[in-house]
Chain A
Amino acid sequence: MKLDEILQSLFPAGYSATPRQGLLSGSGKRGNGTDVHILGVIDDTPLGIEDAAQLASQVLDIARTPGDAPILLVIDSSSQRMSRHDELLGLNEYLSHLAKALFVAELHGHRSIGLLYGHTAAGAFIATALAATVLVGLPGATPEVMDLPSVSRVTKLSIDVLKEKAKTNPVFAPGLDYLFPTGAVHQIWDPAKPLAEQLETVLSQWPAEDTRAQLGLARGGRPAAQRIIDQVLALAGQ
């Protein structure tokens, strides 16, 4: 789905969203008349230090706003911007700061929903979509930790061999369908149905805790994680 179609389907009562150099900001109206803040990284934009600071600043403005309007974070980004400039000035601080901003916004009543409709990768993925409390995906989204050619270089296996291995266990392979079993994505929405209803369902079934490892176990993508977490919690309580 294209961004305009997505926003129209999410907010039939109206929305406004302004794209500016790869970032999106605006707001939409829910069926009950209340607002949803819209923020995003769009157009396959790589996330660098300036944009991360800009986004975090907007999130913190929302955190200071009274009320409980949730934040919808729409994502079609590249990876983090890979450059000497960004690393020299501390990209790790800027990216994690954005994750912190989303977290404190939620402490102040503004829940965050990531909506992955395009691309995202690596550190930009962690700082945006994966930092939202709930992440949903739309079919056609192409999240990846690392592109297959880079995985091929590191693992010293050809892309053909990797594609063959992905059929047995896709835990390393790029793509929404391969990410879903790990629990990283809470839901994949159905583009044939109104997105507004699907958003309302998410908001009404908000998880009380981080359930991603439980989802990973139930879906079979992470057979060990939840068991290990439970075991550590039991040992640490003794």
Chain B
Amino acid sequence: MSDALRPITSWYESTARQRIAGLLDRGSFTEYIGPEQREMSPHLDLFDLPKQFDDGIVIGEGQLEGQRVYAAAQEGRFMGGAFGEVHGAKLIGLIRAARKHKRDVLISFDTGGVRLQEANAGEVSIAEIIRAILLARADGVRVIGLLGGRAGCYGGGGLIANCCSSLVISEQGRLSVSGPEVIETNHGVEEFDSKDRAFVWRTMGGKHRYLIGAVDAFVEDDIAAFRAAARTALAKQARFDLALVQAEQQRLATRLQRLGSLTDSLQIWKALGVEAPESISSLPTEAFLAASQTVRECADEAR
């Protein structure tokens, strides 16, 4: 079947298990601590909340085009994909294993951040994940983050994501720290209207993040497209050292100088040199990539 005829399977609409199955070579995935183990949150009973057998994250190993990789996928449908004690520990273990066995990791983010019902455990697990990723990267492991899930990638999830060596996003992906509702609750609807979906997407969504260099690849909302982009990311040089973090410092300082006084993404896109900023939101993937390719900021060797 040619690419044009291939049916699209939406990443956004898929479950964590469907994403992993489609991302890796068919039938190659072996799950660690699967739902049959019933490793559930030890804390949710306190709130009389339903638990899930996998605590909202799938982890294990498989192959991508024959290359052995570790893979993890958060399930945004369970408690917003939030980090609790068990959820976090599964990811910590996987990344430590990646460092130990020098094997690359794919992480599908779909999370609102820390699970507030077990906030202290979730918060420290995010700090442990960040440290584990940086240790693994310093030892030459690639950590590829995939962003296109329903819950977006918020809170500590946003911090973890930028610790990855490469990030792939779809238009549906959102990457941020404070979520729209949190900003609105704290500072009012004038500061941030969380119900204005177009505003949310052009402030935190995939296209904006791609244009400012907060992510490295922009793909269609299609599992096969994420798979192809993950494969490309796995072929990149693995590097993490002082020079790279200095390059990131330079990149972020330059962004502040160049764009720091602008208050809306349309102004930012214009300042970057996008010819018709107002049309960006409606462009299909190929046209968007064409419109952004020569003007977007890149973070190559600076993330």
Interface residues, chain A, with chain B CB atoms under 8 Å away: 49-50, 53, 56-57, 60, 63-64, 80, 82-97, 99-101, 103-104, 107-108, 122-123, 125-127, 130-131, 144-146, 150-151, 153-155, 157, 165, 168-173, 178-179, 181-184, 210, 212-213, 216, 221-226, 228-233, 235-237
Q: Residue A153 contacts which of B90, B185, B253, B263 (CB distance < 8 angstroms)? A: B185
Q: Residue B163 contacts which of A100, A183, A221 (CB distance < 8 angstroms)? A: A100
> B160 contacts which chain A residues (CB < 8 A)?
96
In the complex, what distance in Å separates the CA atom of A103 from the CA atom of B92?
17
**Docked-complex contact A145 and B119, CB < 8 angstroms:** yes
B7-15, B93-101, B216-224, B225-233: which lies at the interface:
B93-101
B116 CB within 8 Å of chain A: yes
In the complex, what distance in Å separates the CA atom of A122 from the CA atom of B118?
13
B259 CB within 8 Å of chain A: yes
Interface residues, chain B, with chain A CB atoms under 8 Å away: 32-33, 39, 42-43, 46-47, 59, 61, 70, 85-86, 88-90, 92-94, 96-97, 100-101, 114, 116-128, 130-132, 134, 138, 155-156, 158-163, 175-178, 182-183, 185-187, 191-192, 203-204, 208-209, 212, 214, 241-242, 245-246, 248-249, 252-253, 255-256, 259-260, 262-265, 268, 303
**Docked-complex contact B46 and A57, CB < 8 angstroms:** no
**Docked-complex contact B43 and A172, CB < 8 angstroms:** yes
CB distance from A217 to the nearest CB of B (A): 11
**Docked-complex contact A97 and B32, CB < 8 angstroms:** no
Q: How many A-B residue pairs have CB under 8 A?
A: 268
**Docked-complex contact A93 and B214, CB < 8 angstroms:** yes
> A170 contacts which chain B residues (CB < 8 A)?
120
In the complex, what distance in Å separates the CA atom of A80 from the CA atom of B123?
14
> B177 contacts which chain A residues (CB < 8 A)?
80, 86-87, 91-92, 95, 123
In the complex, what distance in Å separates the CA atom of A123 from the CA atom of B220?
30
In the complex, what distance in Å separates the CA atom of A155 from the CA atom of B9?
34
CB-nearest residue of chain B to A156: B47
List 16 interface pairs A-B (beta carbons < 8 Å), by A numbering. A53-B256, A63-B242, A88-B263, A91-B176, A91-B177, A107-B138, A125-B123, A126-B159, A131-B130, A171-B46, A182-B124, A222-B121, A228-B89, A232-B33, A232-B93, A233-B93
In the complex, what distance in Å separates the CA atom of A171 from the CA atom of B259?
40
CB distance from B88 to the nearest CB of A (A): 7
CB-nearest residue of chain B to A179: B120
CB-nearest residue of chain A to B88: A225
> B156 contacts which chain A residues (CB < 8 A)?
123, 126
> A155 contacts which chain B residues (CB < 8 A)?
47, 116-117
> B212 contacts which chain A residues (CB < 8 A)?
89-90
> B155 contacts which chain A residues (CB < 8 A)?
122-123
Q: Residue B116 contacts which of A172, A235, A237 (CB distance < 8 angstroms)? A: A172
In the complex, what distance in Å separates the CA atom of A232 from the CA atom of B95?
10
> B259 contacts which chain A residues (CB < 8 A)?
89
> B117 contacts which chain A residues (CB < 8 A)?
155, 172
